[in-house]
Amino acid sequence: MGAVGQSRKPGEKWFTRAWSKAIASTSYVAMSREEIEEFLGRLTHKLAAALLGEPFCAAPAAEVGAALVEANFTTPATLSKTIGLLGQDAIELLGLVSDEVLRTRIVELQAGVANGFVGALRDRTLREHEEIRQAVLDARMQLAGVGRRPVLDTDHSGLDVLDRDGFLRRLDEVFSSIDPDLRVGLVHLDIDAFKVINNSLGHKVGERLLGAVAGRLAECMGDLPAQLARIGGDEFAILTVSDQRLGDSLVSLAEKILAELITPLSFDGHELAISVSMGIVERPILAGTAVELMRDADITLYRAKSEGRGRWATYDEEHNAREVSRYTLVASMLTALERNEFYVEYQPLVRLSDKTVVGAEALVRWMHPEMGKLSPDRFIGLAEETGLIVPLGRWVLQQACNQAKSWQDKYGTAGPFVSVNLAVRQLWDPNLVSDVAFALESSGLEPAQLQLELTESAIMGTAQQPLNALRALSEMGVRIAIDDFGTGYSNLAYLRDLPVHELKIAGSFMAGLRVNGSNQVDERIVSALVALAHGLKLTVTAEGVETPAEAARLSDIGCDLGQGWYFAKPGPPENLDCLLAAAV
């Protein structure tokens, strides 16, 4: 990418400054604040060009994500803050017209940038929304000539507290050591629910609180040869180096900090009780890099938060490996879609009365170049967190419609319908109805040959926007099915109000239908669900059918369709072709 252009809109400068402030402290990068701002300025220009381009192309978003990854802006917080900034202020800051087309483009850019990050949305999102707004305000004030806020506004002016840039320089010095006997320890500390204080009492009180916390941290450190730094927002770091093991002393420090902060902080008539979460990492200095130390401390901090906050956690290699593996999968997802690493398998839906294949569920898989075949449980959750589920789901929908049309052309009326899973994120996507319409039109598939599956948890409490989408799809002729029925809320009232056509009974109920000692409770539940569905003029599919006895009993009960390993495992479309050809 070239240098920052001269024809840039003032709004691009505002956006760049806000972006820089929002994410500067979220990753370890060997850049000064000025270098970060220049780097992000180039990316801002690329995003603005993408939004203004005709025809619109979302590909630059992936390039932006890749550039951020390459520069080591790779933490979950970076992703969360960037997505929040794009979603809230991009149109306004970049000086663009606020119309529906541009808002749709923002959604697509959000998904593209998310897919380029090595990170995932975490529970920080709500708190960081306010930080992003404040970053926007600060950026505008600074560009208008208003003075900058100090890095640490504190009554403890005599404290030796490094700012972020000073901390990074110190970290570089530490890792430049060639002494093989040195060990490095890091306590990454974050104030829990700091947003509440900022929102209720204001930023000035928040800054004074941070100064008071810094003072108590320094008191807790005592004679420990360590350096305290405020590395951004409400985050602090305590760095120590020694030729002795540091683990026990860092844990003792963490315990002391928790005990010290139990006592409320008092100033300006306010008495504030706070808690902190801490991630502790200790290792030989030759065991890794500064980037790895910061990354591991960040992951460990978030484990402490996820376990309840107000506590510390030490680095766990196994947990860290799982998190890094997750981040790696996230980072490679968009590329995987572009390189056709995803593919679709199909499992037949069989009419129980005569064992005829009448439908097929489309199930996405990922053939990872290094990890091999990945089942959906390895990546679907990550896809939902990052937003990739929307383009991935759109791709699966198109593939399934194309395949169903192929079966129709080959087998006529005996061609099976196709059933496609719909995630919660897709249900909220404003383009869902138009995406389905395009998939049907481009493939030539009749709407009645497409079924969309949603889980009970996804469909319960459905708000107006997704409810309107479901009704529009139903009016179009698309069938709506509730997947894993009986395992969620099981509130039957929504069956009366929603455009549902089919219930898929969860496979966990099938165990009670097996021969010898069958569970009569399960059988009665299945019988009641089938009767209920038929009373509402809904069809019923039983999932997880594994034995001939189960299939026979379900048929006797009156269940319409069956799905499970007894009939066939998920496989390539050619497997279903064999079943269909045999029935012709």
Identify the DSSP state of 514.
S
What is the helix (H) or strand (E) element at residue 380, kind and residue range? helix 376-386
Pairwise CA distance, residues 365 & 386, whole Å = 18
**Total H helices, total E strands in the chain:** 22, 17
Pairwise CA distance, residues 342 & 485, whole Å = 28
Stronger pLDDT, 254 or 224, i.e. the higher one: 254
Pairwise CA distance, residues 90 & 111, whole Å = 14
In whole angstroms, how far apart are CA 358 and each of 453, 511, 530, 547, 555? 16, 24, 19, 19, 15
Residue 385 has pLDDT above 70, yes or no: yes
Q: What is the mean pLDDT of residues 423-447?
A: 92
Kindly state the percentage of the chain with pLDDT values over 70: 75
Q: What is the pLDDT of residue 155?
A: 41
Task: Write the pLDDT tens digit of every residue in 214-238.
Answer: 889 999 998 888 999 998 778 899 9
- Three-class SS state of 348: strand
- pLDDT category at 463 given cuts 50, 70, 90 is low
The residue type found at 169 is R
Q: What is the pLDDT of residue 418?
A: 98
| Region label for 340, one of left (φ > 0), alpha (ψ between -120 and 50) or beta (otherwise) | left
- pLDDT category at 583 given cuts 50, 70, 90 is confident
Q: What is the mean pLDDT of residues 485-495?
A: 65
Pairwise CA distance, residues 276 & 254, whole Å = 10
- Three-class SS state of 4: coil
Q: Measuring CA to CA, which residue among 258, 232, 238, 257 is closest to residue 185? A: 238
Got the DSSP string for 464-496? Answer: HHHHHHHHHHHHHT-EEEEEEETSS---TTHHH
Q: What is the pLDDT of residue 147?
A: 33
Pairwise CA distance, residues 253 & 303, whole Å = 19
Q: Which residue has the tokens 């506004």?
A: 153
- Three-class SS state of 24: coil
Q: Which long-range contacts (CB under 8 A, 24 or more apart) does 176-179 make?
A: 177/241, 177/285, 179/243, 179/285
Q: What is the mean pLDDT of residues 546-554?
A: 90
Burial of 86-104, coded b for 16+ CB within 10 Å and e otherwise, reads bbbbbbebbebeeeeebee
- Three-class SS state of 72: coil
Q: Measuring CA to CA, which residue among 280, 156, 271, 181 is closest to residue 226? A: 280
Pairwise CA distance, residues 44 & 58, whole Å = 14
Got the DSSP string for 142-185? Answer: HHTTPPPPPS---S-TTS-EE-HHHHHHHHHHHHT---TT-EEE
Stronger pLDDT, 355 or 205, i.e. the higher one: 355
- pLDDT category at 88 given cuts 50, 70, 90 is low
Pairwise CA distance, residues 486 & 489, whole Å = 8
Q: Indicate the Cα dihedral angle 391, 395, 398, 400, nearest 10°.
A: -130
Find out whether 404 and 443 touch, Cβ atoms under 8 Å: yes
Q: Domains in the chain, start-ordered, CATH in brackets?
A: 10-143 (no CATH), 161-321 (3.30.70.270), 340-583 (3.20.20.450)
Q: Which residue has the tokens 């569905």?
A: 533
Task: Write the pLDDT tens digit of every residue in 143-163.
Answer: 444 333 333 333 444 568 888
Residue 431 has pLDDT above 60, yes or no: yes
Task: Write the pLDDT tens digit of every residue in 95-126.
Answer: 544 444 445 555 555 555 544 443 333 333 33
Stronger pLDDT, 133 or 423, i.e. the higher one: 423
Identify the DSSP state of 5.
P
Pairwise CA distance, residues 422 & 500, whole Å = 14
Q: What is the pLDDT of residue 510?
A: 78
Find out whether 375 and 365 touch, Cβ atoms under 8 Å: yes
Burial of 475-492, coded b for 16+ CB within 10 Å and e otherwise, reads eeebbbbbbbbbebeeee
Find out whether 161 and 235 touch, Cβ atoms under 8 Å: no
- pLDDT category at 140 given cuts 50, 70, 90 is very low
Q: What is the pLDDT of residue 338?
A: 81
Pairwise CA distance, residues 278 & 305, whole Å = 8
Q: What is the pLDDT of residue 139?
A: 47
Pairwise CA distance, residues 527 & 521, whole Å = 10
Q: Which residue has the tokens 């010095």?
A: 173
Pairwise CA distance, residues 496 & 243, whole Å = 70
φ, ψ for residue 229 (rounded to 5)? -140, 145
Rg value, the chain, Cα:
28
- pLDDT category at 130 given cuts 50, 70, 90 is very low
Find out whether 195 and 132 touch, Cβ atoms under 8 Å: no
Q: What is the pLDDT of residue 31?
A: 77
Task: Write the pLDDT tens digit of every residue in 52-84.
Answer: 665 556 566 667 777 777 777 766 667 667 766
- Three-class SS state of 98: coil
Residue 526 has pLDDT above 50, yes or no: yes
438 class by beta-carbon count within 10 Å (0-12 exposed, 13-18 middle, 19+ buried):
middle
Q: Max alpha carbon distance in the chain (Å)?
A: 87
Task: Write the pLDDT tens digit of every residue in 324-378.
Answer: 777 777 777 877 888 899 999 999 999 999 999 999 999 999 999 888 898 888 8
- pLDDT category at 516 given cuts 50, 70, 90 is low
Q: What is the pLDDT of residue 156?
A: 43
